[in-house]
Structure 1
Amino acid sequence: MAEVLDKPGELTRNQLQLKRLGSGSTNSRSSTDTRRYRTRARTSQVDESLFGSTKPKTSTDKRGPLASKARDKSQSDQEPETIQLITKDLIRSLRIPWRDPSGESVILSPTEFDRINAASRVLTKEESEALLQACQRKKDADIKAAEERKCQIFEADLSRKDKHALTELELEARDQAQQLVEQTNDLRMEQEEEIRKLNKLILGAHCQATRDAQIQEKKQIRAEMTEEEKRLDTMMEVRRRQDLETMEQIEELRKQQMISGMQQINEQIRQRLVEKHLQEEMKENEKQQFRENQERMNLEDLKALEKKREEQELLHEEVMRINAETVRAKEQIKEQEKLDEMRNVEYMRKKQAREAEYEEEQQRIKKEKELEIARLRAKQERAKDYQAEQDELRARRNQQIADREWRRKEREQAAKAAQEEAMLKAARLQQVHCKEHLLSMEAGREKAEFERVLKVQQEAMVKLMEEEEKQRQRALGHAEAIRQQVKERELSAVARRRDMFKEAQLRQRRLDEFKEKKLKELKDTGLCEKYCSQVERKARTCDQ
């Protein structure tokens, strides 16, 4: 629905928006319901040219403002275009104005519009890979061109240097470059397996020399420690003798102290014996006094026992009197219990008589009730017999009516079944005729199909044979190409082996020179000749 303005093929922003009105109206409901923004692309961008220029555009009409006003008036006199949008929920009519009401519409040229369309297209994986490969090829071509230019410049410099005499700076630069090349070659040679082994041997020789020096130093330290231990042993022996003398003096003093202590102990024992004798005399006096007190207490106890026995006799007499009174009271209670028992027996006898009379009365009432129930039951039986006869009569009549109705329905069903059987026979005959006709038609179609399939198979066989012949020819050509490639590879392998042999010889010569240089440097370090000869011998053994 894009409209053409003053220039053909140019679109305004409003017209671009009109293109999306249909889809926007259909998606408005879902967008308001979900309230979530769905990402179309994580790397999406918006072209800034769609928003127009920040500078206001001046009119390019050469006829001046009057001409532009006249043109606007003529456009306003024309009837504006009306378009009709039909969506799922409504139908709308939109009027497209001839002039932009906002004055901010953007006019895009066809080239710009095509560029935006091309930029907005999402590339597929294959297209992205193709684009990356193209960029890589371009980058490789640029690098190759740069290398070629560098080589040309280098060759030009060499030719210029050969033609002209070198200055001091150029000589110094050449020496530095040569030195850098030599250092690079030395570093490269250091990475060779043989040189690394030689470096290990040299390092081992240095380590061995250092270890021997350490062992010698340890021996010297051990001798010094032995001398020091001897000196300490002598000092300890002198100190031990001094300690022995001191201990003898202490032992003598201790003996004297023991003698004086024994004398003091004997004096204490004598004093203890005297004190013990005095204590025994005091204990004997105390025992005599205790015996006297005991005899006096025994007399007092005898008097108390006599008094207590008299009191017990009085108490016994009182108890006997109380027991006699208790016996008399018990006899009176027994007499009273006998009287109560006789009264209870009389009461029970009267009660049993009353219960017997009540039982006889109940038996009489029960018999009368049973007679009444039997009379009522006989009456009910007679009523039931009459009702049963009436029910049986009604049932017999109903059965007769039902039998007549059943026989009528049976006759109707038999007639209906006979009619349906006749209709089925007619339909079956019709089906048989139709089936025979269809079978004949199917046989004709199958025959035609068989002939068509046979023809197709024959054509396929011819094509297959032709294809097999082509494949055989291609296989022969492929085999010839493979044989040619094998020959070329054999020749190239021979050439590579020859080059590798020459390169190996050159490498071995360089390694030998570098080894000699390393051994010379080892000797120049001032290392013992023994270790240098060991390293040289091991290096030659490794080479063999």
Structure 2
Amino acid sequence: MPQSAMSACGRGPGFRYRTRALTSQVDELLFGSPKKMLLPEQPACEPQERNRWGCSGPRGLSKSANAHPKKPKPETVRIITKDLIRDLKIPSQDPSGLSIILPKSETNRIVALSHVRTVEERGAEVQVKHKDRKVAMEAAEERKAKMRQADVVRKKNQGLSDLEAEAQEKAQYLLETANRMRIEQEDEVKKINEVIRSAQCHAVQDAQILEKRQILAELQEEEQRLDAMMEVDRRRALEAQEQIEQLHKQNKIQGKMRIQEQIEERMEERQLQEEIKQQERQKLLENLEKIRQDEYKALLRKKEEQRKLHLEVLKMNEEIQRAKERKKEGEKLADIRIMEYTTKKMEQEAEFEMEQKQMKRDREIEVARMRSLQERDTDYKADQDELRARRNQEAAEREWRRKEREQAKRKAEEEGRLKAARLEQVTYKEHLLSIEAGRERAEFERVLRAQKEEIVREKEREERQRQRVLRHADGVRQQMRERQTQAVEQRRAELQEHERLLDEARSRRTRLNEIKVKKLTELKLAGLPEKYCNEVERKVLILPALVQ
């Protein structure tokens, strides 16, 4: 397959374009209205171009026998591919008529726009944008602060309306509530509340102990009263128990008497039952005697029947014996008949065997006669087969000689074709060698150019690396300066924060003292006994003031 001149000049299969940018933009001027103009006549190819593209010199010009003598010969470019060498004419005019001419200013502008920014340049632009945004935000915050301050001054100068006053009172109430709740959450206040709750618990506990003692005294009195009542009930129960036991004794005596009467009645019933059983036993004996007599009579009848049956069996045995004798006589007659039949059959078989032997002798005589006739016929067939075999051999020899002649003829023709093919191969190989030589020369030039370009790119990379190192060093120094400035600012902020915390601690101690006095006053007003109030005051006053 033919390839272009660029592929022939050395972009191998592993060549890849270097990406300059992920996106691309094309200036619209490149698609403007073309200015039609005649192109100047192409100059002759330089020596380098001739070496690179194979421009025709004395050998590269297309030689046409029919060319007009007055018309100049067009320049050509020779393109060498793997399997083809072509000469292309170089046109002296723009064949499409769509070319345009750009001024130098537009060209410079397009080149400037086509510049691809590096990562460092994009990072610098982002930092500049961040700084600008930060400055703008700071300016906006300053304006907002000024506006808020002006609004506060304006509100102070003008009087408050009813709604504003009410809202202010609500806000003040909520603020006081929040402050009070916040103060209650502090550790010192929690401890004061804990001491107060402890005192209140002690007071409640003492009251509960006193109440418990009173309840115990009342319970003891109630128990004594209940004991007296229980003693009276016990005596009454004893008297009732004695009456019940007396009734039980009387009931037992009456029960014994009833049991004695029942025993006597049972004895009488038992005697009556014995008499009845005696009578039944007597009747049973009489019945048994009667049954025994009946059984004896039945036994006599059975013996008589057995005797009669025995006589019948004897008669039957005699008849069976006579039948056996008759059967034996029949078997003897059957044996005599079988012997007679066997003798007769043997005589018949002997006669049949004699007949078979005679037939066998006759068949042997006939076979001998037929064999002699067949031998005479076989000799004639053998002579005919030998004649046919001789004729077939002669025909095969003639066919073999014919094939040998044809094979020799084909061999001569094949050798002629091989000689012609060898000559053609030699010619084609010389042609391929010339093409390969041109290709190797082009490949050498391509490799040489690639090496030069690689050297230039390596120098550019080294320069970029050096610039990157310098920028990095500047960035590190800038960061160090910024960190030093931040450390100074942080130290100043820490000192200010320390002063603020000291002020807050002093105000907090004052506020806690006020809270202590207030809570002690509220505790006394709540009616807590003086003893517990003094105890709470003593504990509250000795609490250490914690400074946060």
Instruction: Give the TM-score taking structure 1 as reference length.
Output: 0.54
Q: Is the 2:183–2:189 Cα contact (8 Å) retained in structure 1?
A: yes
Measure how far apart 1:173 and its partner are.
8.2
Q: Is the 1:205–1:535 Cα contact (8 Å) retained in structure 2?
A: no
Measure how far apart 1:455 and its partner are.
3.6
Q: What is the CA deviation profile of residues 39-90 of structure 1, one whole-angstrom value per residue up to 9, with x for unaligned ones? A: xxxxxxxxxxxxxxxxxxxxxxxxxxxxxxxxxxxxxxxxxxxxxxxxxxxx
Q: What is the CA deviation profile of residues 436-487 of structure 1, one whole-angstrom value per residue up to 9, with x for unaligned ones? A: 4544444344334433433443344345434433443343334223322322
**Residue correspondence of structure 1 range 125-136 to structure 2 within 5 A:** none
**Residue correspondence of structure 1 range 427-466 to structure 2 within 5 A:** 427-466=428-467
In structure 2, relative to structure 1, the CA distance for the partners of 1:350 and 1:443 (3 Å cut) is same
**Structure 2 equivalent of residue 11 of structure 1:** none
Of residues 156, 159, 164, the one that matches 1:158 is 156
Q: What is the CA deviation profile of residues 482-501 of structure 1, one whole-angstrom value per residue up to 9, with x for unaligned ones? A: 32232222212222232233
Of residues 172, 178, 187, the one that matches 2:181 is 187
- Aligned equivalents of 2:484 and 2:299: distance in 1? 155
**Structure 2 equivalent of residue 318 of structure 1:** 315
Q: Is the 2:520–2:533 Cα contact (8 Å) retained in structure 1?
A: no
**Residue correspondence of structure 1 range 317-356 to structure 2 within 5 A:** 317-331=314-328, 333-334=330-331, 337-338=334-335, 341=338, 345=342
**Residue correspondence of structure 1 range 19-98 to structure 2 within 5 A:** none
Q: Is the 2:184–2:190 Cα contact (8 Å) retained in structure 1?
A: yes
Measure how far apart 1:185 and its partner are.
2.0
In structure 2, relative to structure 1, the CA distance for the partners of 1:213 and 1:317 (3 Å cut) is farther
**Structure 1 equivalent of residue 271 of structure 2:** 274
- Aligned equivalents of 2:274 and 2:296: distance in 1? 35
Measure how far apart 1:401 and its partner are.
3.9
**Residue correspondence of structure 1 range 359-398 to structure 2 within 5 A:** 396-398=397-399
Q: Is the 2:196–2:536 Cα contact (8 Å) retained in structure 1?
A: no
In structure 2, relative to structure 1, the CA distance for the partners of 1:239 and 1:326 (3 Å cut) is farther
The one-letter code matched in structure 1 to 2:477 is L
**Structure 2 equivalent of residue 57 of structure 1:** none
Greater relative CO (CA pairs within 8 A, separation 6+): 2
Q: Is the 1:198–1:515 Cα contact (8 Å) retained in structure 2?
A: yes
- Aligned equivalents of 1:378 and 1:527: distance in 2? 164
- Aligned equivalents of 2:316 and 2:162: distance in 1? 161
- Aligned equivalents of 1:296 and 1:309: distance in 2? 20
In structure 2, relative to structure 1, the CA distance for the partners of 1:216 and 1:395 (3 Å cut) is farther
- Aligned equivalents of 1:345 and 1:154: distance in 2? 162
Measure how far apart 1:267 and its partner are.
1.0
Q: What is the CA deviation profile of residues 156-213 of structure 1, one whole-angstrom value per residue up to 9, with x for unaligned ones? A: 343345xxxx999999987666544422322333454655676677667767877887
Q: What is the CA deviation profile of residues 360-400 of structure 1, one whole-angstrom value per residue up to 9, with x for unaligned ones? A: 7998999889979x969979996888777666655555444
Q: What is the CA deviation profile of residues 120-168 of structure 1, one whole-angstrom value per residue up to 9, with x for unaligned ones? A: xxxxxxxxxxxxxx9xx99xx89x96x977764553343345xxxx999
Structure 2 unmatched runs, 5+: 1-132
**Structure 1 equivalent of residue 125 of structure 2:** none
Name the SS of the counterpart of 2:447 in structure 1. Answer: helix
**Structure 2 equivalent of residue 488 of structure 1:** 489
**Residue correspondence of structure 1 range 194-273 to structure 2 within 5 A:** 195=189, 231=226, 234=230, 237=234, 241=238, 244-245=241-242, 248-249=245-246, 251-272=248-269
The one-letter code matched in structure 1 to 2:230 is T
Structure 1 unmatched runs, 5+: 1-133
**Structure 1 equivalent of residue 124 of structure 2:** none
Deviates more, 1:374-383 or 1:462-471: 374-383
- Aligned equivalents of 2:498 and 2:325: distance in 1? 155
- Aligned equivalents of 1:168 and 1:158: distance in 2? 15
The one-letter code matched in structure 2 to 1:185 is N
Deviates more, 1:267-276 or 1:494-503: 267-276
- Aligned equivalents of 1:259 and 1:531: distance in 2? 87
- Aligned equivalents of 2:333 and 2:154: distance in 1? 166
The one-letter code matched in structure 2 to 1:156 is R
Measure how far apart 1:252 and its partner are.
1.9
Q: How many equivalent residue pairs? A: 401
Measure how far apart 1:298 and its partner are.
5.5
In structure 2, relative to structure 1, the CA distance for the partners of 1:340 and 1:219 (3 Å cut) is farther
Measure how far apart 1:359 and its partner are.
7.9
- Aligned equivalents of 2:203 and 2:155: distance in 1? 52
Name the SS of the counterpart of 2:182 in structure 1. Answer: helix
Name the SS of the counterpart of 2:485 in structure 1. Answer: helix
- Aligned equivalents of 1:354 and 1:148: distance in 2? 163
- Name whichever structure is richer in helix by fraction: 1
Deviates more, 1:383-392 or 1:467-476: 383-392
- Aligned equivalents of 2:458 and 2:252: distance in 1? 141
Q: Is the 1:198–1:539 Cα contact (8 Å) retained in structure 2?
A: no
**Structure 2 equivalent of residue 40 of structure 1:** none
- Aligned equivalents of 2:282 and 2:407: distance in 1? 148
Deviates more, 1:222-231 or 1:183-192: 222-231
Q: Is the 1:519–1:532 Cα contact (8 Å) retained in structure 2?
A: no
- Aligned equivalents of 2:363 and 2:290: distance in 1? 103
**Structure 1 equivalent of residue 71 of structure 2:** none
What is the aligned-residue RMSD (CA, Å)? 5.6
Instruction: Give the TM-score taking structure 2 as reference length.
Output: 0.53
- Aligned equivalents of 1:221 and 1:381: distance in 2? 160
- Aligned equivalents of 1:539 and 1:375: distance in 2? 163
In structure 2, relative to structure 1, the CA distance for the partners of 1:448 and 1:308 (3 Å cut) is closer
In structure 2, relative to structure 1, the CA distance for the partners of 1:441 and 1:470 (3 Å cut) is same
The one-letter code matched in structure 1 to 2:316 is V
Measure how far apart 1:285 and its partner are.
3.1
In structure 2, relative to structure 1, the CA distance for the partners of 1:202 and 1:414 (3 Å cut) is farther
Q: What is the CA deviation profile of residues 207-262 of structure 1, one whole-angstrom value per residue up to 9, with x for unaligned ones? A: 78778877887888788788878848937856864674466346424532442244
- Aligned equivalents of 2:395 and 2:210: distance in 1? 146
In structure 2, relative to structure 1, the CA distance for the partners of 1:484 and 1:333 (3 Å cut) is same
In structure 2, relative to structure 1, the CA distance for the partners of 1:470 and 1:248 (3 Å cut) is same
Q: Is the 1:522–1:532 Cα contact (8 Å) retained in structure 2?
A: no
**Residue correspondence of structure 1 range 393-432 to structure 2 within 5 A:** 396-432=397-433
Of residues 278, 289, 301, the one that matches 2:286 is 289
